[in-house]
């Protein structure tokens, strides 16, 4: 029996996933770690993107039993782009049970087909619809080119405010992204104080130390929706350290006023409309 065959299966899965990971597919990787011509991501880089110490990530990859949180395991899944089968094995062995499914908004089935078709069939602009808890109901392929995270989780607030790798992608994360989004979340918290799912989202956000610190920030803006005038910058998959400027343009569907139709558009005159397609998407 070879040495590799005697290693725990979690070790084999995570090592192989790191070895095959194309770091150009990780938005913001180049800006954080420098340009990389070879394929593969190190333990230290994986740990930093997951928001943990290298020692803690090494414990997971070594197959050592520990109280690994779901948030940490989900971050590793996204960063290493584990397949569904790999994720099932890693989670079952690590947590002793099957992974829980991503919450689905009860409003998803109520979304009119004409709105869903409008979003999903739009070939030019990135469009998505979310409910008042920021659970995404539908989105098109162009949106996934901007935000490949939508393959793994469907709440905008939880992604932007708590996922460590989001801070690698979103430039000037605190001022341009986090503060305006927390301000909007607080408005909805007062508007729907008894909504259980919204409470869960808020609890998840406030459990993150950086987001919790901003929750009562004195410079928190007074916003109920994103300003279409605000330019925000981010990194994209396959584009190295190049920065892209966008605007978030919100609309309210008249037939579905509790939801929001969001358009993502290039902010600079003459900016490229067609964002390069992410490998594997």
Report the chain's C-alpha Rg in angstroms: 19
What class does CATH assign to 3-95?
mainly alpha
For the entire predicted model, the pTM comes to 0.84
269 burial type by CB count under 10 A (0-12 exposed, 13-18 middle, 19+ buried) = exposed
User: What residues form DSSP beta bridges with 260?
Assistant: 130
Closest CA to 26 of 272, 280, 236: 236
* Helix residue ranges per DSSP H, 62-174: 70-80, 84-95, 113-120, 141-146, 156-162, 164-169
Contacts (Cβ under 8 Å, ≥6 apart) of 171: 232, 233, 234, 235, 243
The CATH topology of domain 108-266 is Beta-Lactamase (3.30.450)
What are the extents of the domains in the chain?
3-95, 108-266
Q: In this structure, how many other beta carbons lie within 10 angstroms of the beta carbon of residue 263?
A: 18
Q: Along the 281 residues of the chain, how does pLDDT read in single tens digits?
A: 444 555 799 999 999 999 999 999 999 999 999 988 789 999 999 999 999 999 999 999 999 999 999 989 999 999 999 999 999 999 999 999 988 877 778 788 888 899 999 999 999 899 999 999 999 999 999 998 899 888 776 799 999 999 988 999 999 999 999 999 999 999 999 999 999 999 999 999 999 999 999 998 988 888 778 888 899 999 999 888 899 999 999 999 998 898 999 999 999 744 443 444 433 33
Closest CA to 255 of 103, 156, 118, 123: 118
């Amino acid at each position: 029996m070879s040495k590799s065959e005697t290693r725990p299966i979690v070790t084999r899965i995570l090592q192989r996933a790191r070895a095959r990971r194309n770091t150009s597919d990780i938005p913001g990787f180049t800006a954080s770690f420098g340009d990389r011509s070879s394929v593969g991501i190190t333990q230290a880089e994986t740990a930093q993107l997951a928001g943990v110490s290298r020692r803690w990530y090494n414990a997971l990859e070594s197959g050592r039993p520990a109280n690994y949180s779901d948030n940490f395991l989900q971050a590793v899944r996204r960063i290493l782009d584990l397949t569904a089968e790999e994720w099932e094995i890693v989670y079952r062995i690590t947590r002793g049970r099957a992974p829980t499914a991503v919450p689905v908004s009860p409003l998803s089935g109520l979304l009119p087909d004409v709105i869903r078709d409008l979003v999903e069939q739009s070939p030019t602009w990135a469009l998505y619809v979310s409910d008042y808890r920021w659970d995404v109901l539908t989105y098109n392929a162009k949106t996934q080119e901007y935000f490949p995270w939508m393959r793994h989780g469907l709440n905008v607030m939880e992604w932007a405010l708590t996922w460590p790798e989001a801070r690698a992608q979103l430039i000037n994360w605190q001022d341009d992204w986090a503060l305006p989004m927390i301000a909007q979340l607080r408005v909805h918290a007062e508007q729907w104080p008894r909504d259980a799912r919204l409470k869960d989202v808020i609890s998840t956000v406030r459990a993150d130390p950086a987001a919790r610190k901003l929750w009562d920030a004195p410079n928190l803006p007074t916003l109920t929706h994103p300003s279409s005038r605000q330019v925000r910058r981010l990194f994209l998959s396959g584009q190295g350290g190049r920065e892209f400027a966008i605007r978030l343009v919100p609309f309210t569907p008249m037939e579905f006023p509790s939801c929001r139709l969001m358009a993502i558009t290039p902010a600079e005159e003459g900016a490229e409309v067609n964002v390069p397609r992410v490998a594997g998407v």
